[in-house]
Structure 1
């Protein structure tokens, strides 16, 4: 007989609730990105810049107040931040070419990528039923791309196939970022992780904006219809980044 008392523990319920709230935040960022793309705003790196600045300021203040040395090497955080910035760039860029439905379905590609990376680098062991779930995710990804290839005229977007591959590439980088965060959370501090991710993420984003998006930002005519989705995107991203390490710690303890 299944002992539900051991399954539905307080930590499990907290993890489940956090996971659902994070899904809601992801939906909010997707809707905001889609709305900005609909208004002709094509500045994917600029969208994420405010989130990194908020992380650096909020968590950096806490870290400075604690007066502790970094537990992990700074260049680990730099590499993580670079991957994370480019993941955000690719996924947000995908909204310029394909529909929000395709992108949110293709986000499932992150699941097999995370499982593969944790199996190789973190030595995580998985059961057969989890591999069955991976097969379903991969099959769904293939079907979405196949559907957009053969129905590009109604798929929504100027170039659905290009957008799909941007979304897949971004999801792959998100997997690398999430697995790296799990490793750093295990060996370090959540506040340290958020501070360094915000600091290097803001620095890398600023450099990328000056190279790729300076002209685009000058040509944008800002209005309340454009500012509100951008503010909503930044707020949802900040909450998402703040809660993901917490979810990882809860899940690690449950496991």
Structure 2
């Protein structure tokens, strides 16, 4: 049966629209889980517990146990060499460490807004390592988002509440976003080319090993001095559950939309941050936060509607670009033939 070209075009357009809506909805789930992680980290910090590596250790352990069990049930051989996952886990662990450490110094609103720095990092990394190309309009929109971030730095310079050393906290968040950008781009490639269950399992395994070693060196005395209570335990459990759900949904967004789309979608986390700041902490939000958010939204509109290309296309598929990953693909070819894909 031959469909008219107009009907085929209409069907493809409708199918693509549904796919975009699906990615956006998944992105909002990621935003919600990110906000819940931020809330629990902030509550843990307010209770005087400074153990970000320990928080992450339990989150990675949950990934290793759940997704490791799935791989064992499949009898699946590794599709990617272990040291690539080690590098991804190192970036993810230290990104999480820095951003949770930042809660000791600055506010939850500043942290979630400065998290937007992951966007320019993702653009830079996908440009050089995944071969993604962006139009001048898209780059202008991203630059406008960065301009919005500078407003937060200006606001925190003169801020007197919500943290002891605002600028230090802001710098820690920006460094964390660089590590997250590296992790997101790496997970994007592995999720698209390989198996997302294996990605989650191996990040969990190596993340757990890294955090347990580092925590035993840097946080052992801190944990011994903590007066554990039901509130502390509840916040730790909340962080682990929200982290597990965050890591579970992230590969879907990265696979369907790419690292840049993932970080653009997560910007709505700021809305949740403002809600938490007002209703949970009974705090007041500076008008500069709203100005910053407005500038970022305008930048996103320019990026997503005026710029050329679909946000869903974040990795080029031509043979020239794929040769950049030939080493990674060749290393896993032998085991891939005996394994299943999602």
CA spacing shift, 1:125–1:215, aligned 2, 3 Å? same
Pair 1:241 & 2:243 matched: no
Aligned match of 2:115: 107
The number of residues matched between the two structures is 251
Q: Assess if the C-alpha contact under 8 Å between 1:46 and 1:205 holds in 2.
A: yes
* Structure 2 Cα separation of the partners of residues 251 and 181 of structure 1: 12
Aligned match of 1:60: 68
Q: Which moved more, 1:241-250 or 1:82-91?
A: 241-250
Q: 1:85-164, aligned counterparts within 5 Å? A: 85-149=93-157, 151-154=158-161, 156-164=162-170
Aligned match of 1:6: 13
CA spacing shift, 1:21–1:4, aligned 2, 3 Å? farther
* Structure 1 Cα separation of the partners of residues 32 and 97 of structure 2: 20
Q: Assess if the C-alpha contact under 8 Å between 1:97 and 1:163 holds in 2.
A: yes
Deviation at 1:249, TM superposition (A): 1.9
Residues 147-173 of structure 1: per-residue CA shift (max 9 Å, x gap):
212x1424x201101100011101111
Q: Assess if the C-alpha contact under 8 Å between 1:152 and 1:161 holds in 2.
A: no
Deviation at 1:111, TM superposition (A): 0.4
Q: 2:238 aligns with which of 228, 232, 244?
A: 232
Deviation at 1:4, TM superposition (A): 10
Q: Assess if the C-alpha contact under 8 Å between 1:71 and 1:187 holds in 2.
A: no
Q: Assess if the C-alpha contact under 8 Å between 2:106 and 2:170 holds in 1.
A: yes
CA spacing shift, 1:153–1:254, aligned 2, 3 Å? closer
Q: Which moved more, 1:77-86 or 1:179-188?
A: 179-188
TM-score when scaled to structure 2?
0.71
Deviation at 1:182, TM superposition (A): 0.7
Pair 1:77 & 2:85 matched: yes
* Structure 2 Cα separation of the partners of residues 76 and 145 of structure 1: 35
CA spacing shift, 1:95–1:6, aligned 2, 3 Å? same
* Structure 1 Cα separation of the partners of residues 168 and 198 of structure 2: 36
* Structure 1 Cα separation of the partners of residues 11 and 98 of structure 2: 42
Pair 1:181 & 2:187 matched: yes
Aligned match of 2:29: 21
The gaps in structure 2 that reach 5 residues or longer are 1-9, 259-310, 314-342
Query: Secondary structure of 2:219's match?
Result: helix
* Structure 1 Cα separation of the partners of residues 52 and 132 of structure 2: 34
After the TM superposition, list the runs of 4 or more consecutive aligned residues in structure 1 that deviate by more than 6 angstroms. none
Query: Secondary structure of 1:221's match?
Result: coil
Q: Which moved more, 1:34-43 or 1:121-130?
A: 121-130
TM-score when scaled to structure 1?
0.94
The gaps in structure 1 that reach 5 residues or longer are none
Higher Rg:
2
Q: 1:206 aligns with which of 207, 212, 221?
A: 212
* Structure 1 Cα separation of the partners of residues 245 and 173 of structure 2: 22
CA RMSD of aligned residues (A): 1.7
* Structure 2 Cα separation of the partners of residues 136 and 187 of structure 1: 32
* Structure 2 Cα separation of the partners of residues 96 and 4 of structure 1: 52
* Structure 1 Cα separation of the partners of residues 29 and 185 of structure 2: 20
